[in-house]
A and B are shown apart, each in its own frame.
Chain A
Amino acid sequence: MARFMTAGLRTYPGYHRKSAVSLDKLGRARLAAWVQSDSYSNKTDADVIINYAKAHDITDLYLLVAYPGTPNLLMGYAGSCNTHLWGTTADGSYMFDYMVRNCAPLGIRCHAWWCMMFWSWYGDTSKTFMNTPLSDTYKDLTSYSATDGYNWKMFDATARTTVVNVLWDFAHNNRMCEGVQLDYIRTNGNSTAHTTTDITNLVGDVRTKMPDRHISVCSIGTVPNGKINDRQDVVDFVSHKYVDSVAFMGYFWCFARKLELANQFNYGTGGVEVYWGQSAEPYRTNPSDVAHNTRWIQQRGWKNFALFDMYSTHFRAAEYANYVDGININCNLETYGDIADITKISHVNGTSWTVTIGGSDYTTLYSAVTDHTEAGYLKDHVEGVEGARGPMMYVRLGDTTTYITAGDWYP
């Protein structure tokens, strides 16, 4: 574990210091994972996450934040932001703090994962699920979506101050936390009230408020939709030195987006860590596809990966329906051969594909995931995996013996 020595450790209390060196500069890879709040809402589940991260050389955890029962709650995924899921353990400790304190000695950086754009969430126009400090005055009426509710007025400096103070307050009370991850740092597709400058200013305000913390963002890149339509100019974030890392959401089930991003971005420069956001969803398609996709991205020079959707029940059915037809078919390189040898793809019965490689047909199937938490999924599917050391990090997914691989973690 010597390679963790320079990253993620800090002195406390009272003083905060970002990791001194970006491992990216040393050519080493990082592996991050997003964790829902209900996956670390108790010590049993939290320990599974921590042990899994330790065993599989995860370097960063983005922990979804829901602040317990106060007006400081900004937002959370529907069903995950109720205070009981955030949870206070029997001994009175907060689970976010528990995660950070147990990960720090392992050199695993914990980030507070915030979802930024929502005034309301998933059609909840009355903010039933949220206790945001933002009043109705700051509701972006142009952004209304029947499925997503409203964004807030990120162009409003007073509103930004309120929100940024919430982030700061949380970080201040969790001083070992590496920093914040700003997810949905954009408008939705409906909003006409913002410019890219407004979003950039929000990121800048976070940076100004927390100059000593790691600021990371999730980005959909500068494809036209990301920059022009959703007002997110990630290049602007980087050029202003507002961010320390960017996770580009290449996804998995959206191969088209992956192609766009892979052809537009490679490594960050100027010390910015760049991650490929990879969905590890096992149930939408064959888990071996994740392995191949990872390798495909590595071929294009990406080294750092960030995994999400190890379970997928938080996705709305409508989203799933929209993206099912974007699923691409790849094949496990070890088992079947190379994607370059595919001559035929058929999808006939709605539940499986047949892929022809070298004259032989291979049928891929969905595998179902029923447990709703990363911890539960890991307990069911990861314990018992043979080995996780050496140059290849792999995770057994689903009921098969196929793996995702995160490539060479060592220079």
Chain B
Amino acid sequence: MTTLFNCTFENNRLYDPTPHPPGNGADMVSVSGGTVEVAAAAAHDGSYGVKFTPTQGYRAWMMMACGGLRKLRQRFWIHPNSLSIATGNSFRICRNGHYDASWVAYDIGLGYASSSYYIYWNIYNGTYSSTQANGSSNINITNAWHRIETYYQTGSPGSMELWLDGVSQGSVSATNPDALVNLPALGVAGGPGFTISGSFYVDSWQANDDGTLIGA
């Protein structure tokens, strides 16, 4: 197994600009709107995590440069915290962060409905595509720390399985042999198209390229 990165943020910094192998922070943090900051309050493990304060319409995300991956297993902890989302709305928190806005490959969304936060994930068709192939149903989560782990694979078909707190929530598939992942991204990965306030937390973002279980 090759660990691609292991962002713990324990050095109380957003970046770890040295080249891979893994460091404490992200390769890149891009803020078009809102705020991204390391914060003690955002720590699930150790002393620090990352706090995202979104603003309507803009991304604010972390990216890791990984080259073209046919397999990506990643795990992160997320806490919705005080995030206020008008019911029935959601936004992306995780995707392939290619420079081309349409090269999605996969994404994970965070939303709010029926008095509960929820997550979902999608996988996308082919190459250079923003066309969703298949998506999961919404899965409710509480306002607490949750461990999300995913395993994305390209193929004919390819697939993406998601585990919530160690329990598989199923898998979605697509024909995506060329939809390589090159920039795993996490945070406000899609500008919320609605009024949003508050913050959410992320910590302990780790990934490998062969699908080995990461776990807690």
Query: Chain A: residues with CB nearer than 8 A to chain B?
Result: 189, 223-225, 228-229, 254-257, 259-260, 262-264, 296, 299-300, 322-329, 339-348, 350, 353, 356
Docked pose: A348 CA to B55 CA in angstroms: 8
Q: Which 3 A-B pairs have the closest CB atoms?
A: A259-B65, A344-B37, A325-B32
Find out whether the CB atom of A259 lies under 8 angstroms from the CB atom of B30.
no
Does any Cβ of A come within 8 Å of B19's Cβ? yes
The answer to whether A329 touches B17, judged by C-beta atoms less than 8 angstroms apart, is: no
| Residues from chain B with Cβ under 8 Å of A347 in the complex | 31-35, 58, 60
Would A224 and B63 be within 8 Å (CB), given that A256-B30, A339-B17, A340-B13 are in contact? no
* Interface pairs (27), CB distance under 8 Å: A223-B182, A224-B68, A225-B128, A254-B99, A255-B30, A256-B28, A256-B98, A259-B63, A260-B65, A262-B65, A263-B65, A263-B67, A323-B99, A325-B30, A325-B191, A329-B29, A340-B17, A340-B25, A341-B13, A342-B15, A343-B37, A344-B37, A345-B35, A347-B32, A347-B35, A348-B55, A353-B31
* A300 neighbours in B (Cβ, 8 Å): 19
Q: Is residue B110 within 8 Å, beta carbon to beta carbon, of the partner chain?
A: no
Enumerate B83-115 residues with CB–CB distance to A below 8 Å: 97-101, 103
In the complex, A348→B14 CA distance in Å? 18
Name the distance in Å between A199's Cβ and chain B's nearest Cβ: 17
Which residues of chain A come closer than 8 Å to B191, judged between CB atoms?
325
Indicate with 1 or 0, residue by residue over B10-26, a CB within 8 angstroms of chain A CB atoms: 00111111111000010
Cβ–Cβ contact A259 & B101, under 8 A: no
Cα distance A342–B55 when bound, in Å? 21
Known: A299-B18, A326-B30, A344-B38. 15 other contacts (CB 8 A): A189-B128, A224-B103, A224-B180, A228-B128, A256-B63, A323-B99, A324-B32, A326-B32, A328-B29, A329-B30, A340-B13, A345-B14, A345-B29, A346-B37, A356-B37
B-chain residues with CB within 8 Å of residue A262 when the two chains form the complex: 65
Q: Which residues of A contact B98 (CB under 8 A)?
A: 225, 256
A344 to B39, CA, bound (A): 9
B182: contacting residue among A189, A224, A341, A342, CB under 8 A: A224
> Is B141's CB within 8 Å of the partner chain A?
no
Chain B residues, CB < 8 A from A189: 128
Q: Are B182 and A260 in contact (CB under 8 A)?
A: yes
Instruction: Decide yes or no: A343 and B67 within 8 Å by CB, A225-B103, A255-B30, A260-B183 being known contacts.
Output: no
Alpha-carbon distance between A329 and B192 when the two chains are bound, in angstroms: 21
From A229, A325, A329, give the contact of B58 (CB < 8 A): A325
Chain A residues near B14 (CB-CB < 8 A): 342-345
Contact A327 B19, beta carbon cutoff 8 Å = no
A356 to B13, CA, bound (A): 10
With a cutoff of 8 Å between Cβ atoms, the chain A residues found around residue B63 in the complex are 256, 259
Contacts of B25 on A, CB cut-off 8 Å? Answer: 340
B210 within 8 Å of A (CB atoms): no
| Residue on B nearest A349 in the bound complex, by CB | B33
Q: A328 to B28, Cβ gap below 8 A?
A: yes
